[in-house]
Structure 1
Amino acid sequence: MASSTVQPQSRDRQEDDVARRLLDSAATLSYDPATEVDWETPLDKGFHGASPEWSTLYGTAYWSELTDAQRKELTRQEAASVASTGIWFEMILQQMVLRDIYAKDPTRAEVQWALTEIAEECRHSIMFARGAEKLGAPAYRPRRIAVELGRAFKTVAFGEAAYAAILVAEEVLDVMQRDWMRDERVAPFVRTINNIHVVEESRHMKFARAETRRRLRKAGWLRRRIHALVVAIASYVIVTSMVNKDVYANAGLDASRAVGEARANEHHKSMMRSSCSGLMDFLASAGLLTKPALMFYKRANLI
């Protein structure tokens, strides 16, 4: 009887220890994008919006035909689209986290960390919106079906399904942005945005990993199988929504040809797969890479 009461208390202490470390990190190293990012200097079109190697057309025949100015405009539009998708998913994330901590003890470090994460995500969304606007891009939005699936997911997802999906979205974006923030070909203000997001999201990913593992301890075989598939479908929708097909027309390209070559671009598929190897290892160790789930990760070129 004694061990059955001690174990939950011990787990609570462990969870609070993780949360306290994250709170300490946030207190030590956080940014205010309103003052950290150079919003005043006009856009210099001599810079890319993202590392060219991450462009959906890089390595294609069409890419070889583009002028340097066209390539830079394309990467600026693609970076803006990725930022807009980030805003969409961060809104989903915030609602799921709020729902998870609703009516929990606010004196717990776990709850206070969750509120801190939400505050950071709010700042990130504003930062991404201002960044996309400065890049000269419209408000790119996911397809209607993706929006509705997201609406359903944020309403019903719970436990490991919510936190694992959060992890997938954040890890994919994190790998891209680590390249972009170090690349001197990328506009300086975009590099600053990427650096802020990478630093602060590293805390969010640590929490998502810990929560995914913790919630899975309570998951039976059927729940684990169902949530593995739900996470995979959510990941597919998120990843395939990152670059809106309208970026090509807005960059002055032949949209029909660009969409076709982007879909067949083996270089970009390879970039996605190699960047997600660590993430896939984590999902496998958590028992979330079932055969049905693998089908969606393969379709999204994550594995």
Structure 2
Amino acid sequence: MTLPIRVVLFSEVNSKLGAPFLDMLHGHPLVDLVAVVTSPVGRLCDYFTADAEQVDLEQRGNALGVPVLRPHKVNAPEFVQQIKDLEPDYLIVGNFQRILKDDLLATPKVTSVNFHPSALPRYAGLAPFYWMVRNGETDGAVTAIEIAPGIDTGAILTQHRTPLTGRETALELRTIQERANVLMLLDLIPQLVTGSYRRIPQDHSERTYFSRPTEDDYRLDFAHSAHKVACHIRAGYRSPGAFTDAPGGDRVTILSADDTAPAGVPLEPPGTVRHLPHGLFVACRDGWLRLLTVELADNEVPAQAHPTLADGTVLAATVLQLA
């Protein structure tokens, strides 16, 4: 293969993964980054809209002198021809939330590679960081796969493990995955240049798939175990945040909690709030959960400051008691 390899990067315009991918591919001596394909004007990836620090791939690409393409329809024949005319060796996809169809995938001379934030074949689909935290995972990874028909089904080219504590928030896990994916791209580039990577078929008997969380997925239910509720709260942090309903229908968004149980305090019905000398607690199915911070007027504040969380308030607990 003629050096350097010609690459087209696909990523969302405000992606915290796409930004370092753009910088690395542009600056790498073995890569000629011939274009960046990003979101249509006016469209943002909601993973990042609440972040304090924002990125703009179009602005970044323009500053580096890399052509930036923002098609309305990425699989339209005229756009596919535009990519084909660039004569790429590889399409590199990192956090691009539209499906590339066969005609577009046929444009690179070698293949197309997608960087996915999970240990495929587990946690295929959207927002794996949310579902992994909600499920209390301690065994994480990021995976580079060859793009194939279906969602996250292609052969594995490489995979980097990311051991977890099981106490990360979704935001913390997303950041861990972004950094791991950048390092994985750095390791993979020489293999793309030489074609020395191996294709390892996924074992689809081990596949799990998750879709984008809906609003109802962020709704808390204190009839679950304290551990499960704590994981649910960490998965929601910080935007939009896991929430519950107080009497009267007021929404309370809980941002952090821990399962430090108060000693000698009898357990009450799930959802019961108690102000104790060592904190504010809510009863779950099997124990007390200490509420640490909540959302109030768009700020993260101590849970005791929320006017709805009065002593004796009963929050939603609707599921059947679990064995």
Q: TM-score, normalised by structure 2?
A: 0.23
Between the two structures, name the one with larger relative contact order (CA 8 Å, sep ≥ 6): 1
Decide which structure has greater helix share: 1
Decide which structure has greater strand share: 2
Structure with higher Rg: it is 2
Q: TM-score, normalised by structure 1?
A: 0.24
